[in-house]
Amino acid sequence: MRTTQAAIEVDGLRQGYGDFEAVRGISFTVREGELFALLGTNGAGKTTTMEVLEGFTKARGGQVRVLGLDPHRQRRELRPRVGIMLQEGGFLGDLTVAETIAMWRGMAADVGRRPMTDALALVGLEHRAGTRVRQLSGGQKRRLDLALAVLARPEVLFLDEPTTGMDPEARRDTWKVIQDLKAEGVTVLLTTHYLEEAERLADHLAIMHEGVVHTHGSVETVVAAAGDQVAFRLPISPEALRARTGDGLPFLAGAAPAAVVAGEVTRVTYTLPATSSPDGAHAALRPLMAWAEKCELPLERLEIRRGTLEDVFLRVVGDAR
């Protein structure tokens, strides 16, 4: 049983340019109030997908719905309910920040639109109100873009790489803005190349490559599929290791060791299989410890690292290439 309604539905979407098919039959659903991250390689088709959902282009195949409406055919109806931050925002460089916001406010419906001071404060641009837009830095332009996208208090927000070009502090501030909007119930579809951003903000995500979705699910499930990494160094070359231990390194929970030689040292890494058990890494380490005891070899700089979204991304994309 579904407890919340779908705010965005994409079913078998196909879209292209001339003979080239950029999006090849993708499907996903974003529920009301949820943040969905669309991730993928350069040219995967994320912006192309966004442009269909924003109503700028008509899908070549499949079905899309935003708030139950056809975003292309019913764009007039939908437009006031949707906020859009394009990957490349276009501004009139001669206008000041305040003039730009005033112009956009003029186009938004009176009901619910944010006052100028709130819009400036939301993205931390109060001190730049009188600055011409062309004199803003790249990250400041992104922040102005975000202020414009949320000026009319949209129900659904499309953010195409909202934090690209921002310094780490501005990025964190923007995450807070996005989290606050989400807390107000805004549904967000976001693209980003910062996987930490997706891991922090998203409820669900999809990873695309060359027009196809290769993995999707809740952030937790997708990241759990990464598996933990066990790494250490052995103060011995692989030849000496083989001479001393015969069979060499053991398998851990079915995972084979990956050994890289660096002079007289061997660096070893294992990527453990995904497990739902919280003591998975502990159990997997037992045969390694027994092996190290038997061979009388210290495991130098032993570390266990939890798998990350980046690990999953690189594996998914690597497999798809």
Ligand X SMILES: Nc1ncnc2c1ncn2[C@@H]1O[C@H](COP(=O)(O)OP(=O)(O)OP(=O)(O)O)[C@@H](O)[C@H]1O
Site for ligand X, rule CB under 6 A: 17, 20, 22, 40, 42-48, 87
| 80: DSSP letter | G
Label residue 154 left, alpha or beta by phi (over 0 means left) and psi (-120 to 50 means alpha): beta
Q: Which stretch binds Mg ion (CB under 5 A): 46-54, 125-133, 174-182, 198-206?
A: 46-54
Residue count (the chain)? 321
Placement of tokens 């380490």 in the chain: 285
Closer of 44 and 170 to ligand X (Cβ): 44
Closer of 191 and 229 to ligand X (Cβ): 191
Judge whether 129 and 152 are in contact, CB under 8 Å. Answer: no
Site for Mg ion in 139-168 (CB under 5 A): none
Write down the least CB distance from residue 21 to ligand X, Å: 9
Write down the least CB distance from residue 286 to Mg ion, Å: 46
What tokens does 314 get? 């690189």
The answer to whether 41 contacts Mg ion (rule: CB under 5 A) is no
Distance CA 73, CA 290 (A): 66
Partner in contact with 255, chosen from ligand X, Mg ion, none, beta carbon below 5 to 8 Å by kind: none
Closer of 48 and 215 to Mg ion (Cβ): 48
Partner in contact with 276, chosen from ligand X, Mg ion, none, beta carbon below 5 to 8 Å by kind: none
Write down the least CB distance from residue 46 to Mg ion, Å: 5
Specify the amino acid at residue 248: G
Closer of 53 and 234 to ligand X (Cβ): 53
Closer of 43 and 138 to ligand X (Cβ): 43
Closer of 153 and 214 to Mg ion (Cβ): 214
Partner in contact with 22, chosen from Mg ion, ligand X, none, beta carbon below 5 to 8 Å by kind: ligand X
Partner in contact with 146, chosen from ligand X, Mg ion, none, beta carbon below 5 to 8 Å by kind: none
Write down the least CB distance from residue 268 to ligand X, Å: 35
User: H-type helices in 4-72, by residue range?
Assistant: 46-53
Q: Give the binding-site size for Mg ion (rule: CB under 5 A).
A: 3
Edge-to-edge strands, sheet with 6-17: 20-31, 6-17, 61-66
Judge whether 234 and 300 are in contact, CB under 8 Å. Answer: yes
Write down the least CB distance from residue 320 to Mg ion, Å: 18
Label residue 227 left, alpha or beta by phi (over 0 means left) and psi (-120 to 50 means alpha): left
Closer of 164 and 179 to Mg ion (Cβ): 164
Distance CA 51, CA 84 (A): 10
- Give DSSP secondary structure letters for 179-231: HHHHHTT-EEEEE-S-HHHHHHH-SEEEEEETTEEEEEEEHHHHHHTT--EEE
Closer of 87 and 131 to Mg ion (Cβ): 87
Write down the least CB distance from residue 43 to Mg ion, Å: 8
Which residues have C-beta within 8 Å of that of residue 130, sequence separation ≥ 6?
Answer: 96, 97, 98
Residue in 27, 29, 41, 47 binding Mg ion, rule: CB under 5 A: 47
Judge whether 87 and 193 are in contact, CB under 8 Å. Answer: no
Residue in 27, 41, 87, 164 binding Mg ion, rule: CB under 5 A: 87
Partner in contact with 307, chosen from ligand X, Mg ion, none, beta carbon below 5 to 8 Å by kind: none
Specify the amino acid at residue 263: G
What is the binding site for Mg ion (CB under 5 A)? 46-47, 87
